[in-house]
Amino acid sequence: MTGSIDDGLIDFGNGQPSLSLLPVEMLRTATEHFLRAGDATLLQYGADQGDASFRDMLAAFLSRRYRGPIDASELMISGSASHALDLVCARCTQPGDTIFVEEPTYFLALHVFRDHGLHVVGIPIDEHGIRIDALRDALRQHRPALLYTIPSFQNPSGTTMSAERRAQLVEVSQAHDLLIVADEVYHLLDFDTPPPPPLAMHVSSARIVSLGSFSKICAPGLRLGWIHGATPMLQTLMRAGVVQSGGGFNPFVSGIMRSMIELGLADTCLDGLRRVYAERTASLCAALRTEFANAHFVEPHGGYFVWLRLPARTDASRLRPEATRHGVSYHAGSRFVGGDGFSDYVRLSFAHYEPPTLAEGVRRLAHVAARFAVDRHR
């Protein structure tokens, strides 16, 4: 069974759901429902903004889940959140521009920014999200093309930006005409209490574009997401050559997801993931408290990740090869910054493994970390 202890290596770097969580039967039902309708237009090049009926259905779904009104005219369909981020960079930045990111931040977003020749400046975060005082200080020194943020259940830290910080960030955007790119792919994956309203709710009042994805709330192989922004922003994105050449993205998969939402299966899938991830998070954190008496972490209330600080200032990058030899792996903290820092942190994903495997992975990690610390001080 994929994700079982018998597989050998337990890879906490695996940031995707286990095969058992993928909604194969739901997608089969939705696909049959979609095909029975006989809508052949979704086998043609799609409308630049995405299929209108799907955007209407998605707007209704998000309005219910965000607990606030979403206008379908402010939604554009993308291939994924990463695809959307690349598109925003292509249309809203120039090589050599400075951009701001939270520090730490999603390491593959850093790769996207590097591809576009952007100069990345990190803004520190704390338990309430991005530090607005540090952001204001940075704005006195730089004129960034955009700020990239993950407001809810941040990757990698698991923290959620408070309502106060969100309001302050909107004010900063308005005062400085600063484009905020909010990666909100984890927003709907809360375990108990929903996070504050998404920054998506402010796209009409500030320069904010929100990115969403079905990778996290349904299945990553769908390669389907959305961009939520004001009409001028969407028009800018739709003028991209890749859109003008081939039309909107993934119209056929959009039709399947339209049926998933219409039949109530998208809600069923999402709520099931939330329950499972809550159980897996609790198991992972219980194991960490047992095995790592002197390590620091904060138990997340949603998302995919726990951000663990190893004891004794252990260098996670240097530890990783030894850990791999002992059957456990992870992403080292240094991957999540543009420069130096967070060398004694590791990001642990709880999405891919069941509780017994998570506990065994923590046991292996604690064992090898303890041995590494002893050997280092000999």
Helix (H, G, I), strand (E, B) or coil at 175: helix
Strand partners, 149: 182
- The answer to whether 55 touches 259, Cβ cutoff 8 Å, is no
Mean pLDDT within 236-249: 92
Query: Which CATH number applies to 24-265?
Result: 3.40.640.10
Mean pLDDT within 232-247: 94
Mean pLDDT within 136-159: 98
Q: What mean pLDDT is reported for the chain?
A: 95
Domain ranges of the chain: 5-22+267-376, 24-265
- The answer to whether 359 touches 313, Cβ cutoff 8 Å, is no
| pLDDT exceeds 80 at position 4 | no
Nearest to 82 by CA among 198, 261, 249: 249
CATH 3.90.1150.10 fits 5-22+267-376, yes or no: yes
Mean pLDDT within 47-58: 96
Q: Which residues contact 272 (CB under 8 A, 6 or more apart)?
A: 21
Helix (H, G, I), strand (E, B) or coil at 321: helix
